[in-house]
Amino acid sequence: MTVLRTPNEQFKNLKDYSFKENFIEFKIDNDFVRMHYIDENSQSKDVVLLLHGEPTWSYLYRHMIPILVKAGKRVIAPDLIGFGKSDKLSKREDYSYEKHVSWTSNIIKELNLNNITFFGQDWGGLIGLRLVANNPDLFKGMLLANTSLPIGKGTSLGFEAWIKYSQTVEVFNSGKIIQNASLRKLTDEEVDAYNAPFPDDTYLACARQFPTLVPVKPEDPSVNENIVAWEVLKKFDKPVLTIFGSEDPVMLGQEKFFQNAIPGSNGMDHQIIKAAHFIQEDQPELLANSIIDLYN
């Protein structure tokens, strides 16, 4: 295993992203790796955990974080291993769903987080919902957006198209991918910021591997672990809100599984809004305010 660290100069002068850097370090095999995270308003005991998906990083939350902080929230936004300012592993086989769950759980343990409102989109939901299921008492509510927790029962045509594209496209341009799955026109600076973590193809192992790790077939790894997680979530009676994008061909429809299975979703004002897959780019104010109002 080779650990790669994106040079700091890649992240200079990012528009709307001037948050203080924080890192935790832990061991993977025989190497130490760093995970980067944002921790704003750390004196507050009202925690919001924002988990991104693929191929994004905490930059995705740059417009939501100030709104949440102004409302008195402590905002934690990690970069998953393989993304953003966190270290990257050079080989695709170094990554698995279960490893990501374990690695990301270190943020909660290291910072001794509790009283958490969880927001997850894309892989942020796949990983974060497992964290909730593993420690439900640490979480007081959830907002789920354009995500799922699959158990090997197939997938959408949109996801099948994404799998094919992600595994065959010669140049994996994260900024272009995010632009194509957002309704809002990103600036050139924003597109560059999404490409910043990946100076060359050697840094892209996780971005390439992630789509193949989604357990969409019965024999896929992590199917059983997700089934176990669902059994816990079926007893989660704290507030759970779903907000999905009307223009997301990959995830739209998955919200019904959460609404039908999780008791805490009963009576909540679930929404389908005008947004594509990267809903944080299209409707950041609505999402942030929905987190703030979750318990009202």
Q: Are 120 and 54 in contact (CB under 8 A)?
A: no
- Beta strands 116-121 and 47-51 are parallel
User: Whose CA is closest to 86, among 190, 174, 6?
Assistant: 6
Task: Tell whether the torsion through CA atoms of 233, 237, 239 and 240 is positive or negative.
Answer: positive
The b-or-e profile of 227-240 (16+ CB within 10 A means b, else e) is eebbeebeebebbb
Q: Which residues are catalytic?
A: 122, 248, 277
Beta bridge partners of 25: 34
Token reading at 48: 């919001």
Q: Dig out the tokens for 287 from the structure.
A: 């999402």
DSSP for residue 267: T
Q: How many CA atoms lie within 13 A of 69 on its CB side?
A: 16
CB neighbourhood size of 259 (10 A): 16
Q: How far apart are CA 39 and CA 269, in angstroms?
A: 29
Could you tell me if 36 and 85 are in contact, meaning their C-beta atoms sit under 8 angstroms apart? yes
End-to-end CA distance of the chain: 48
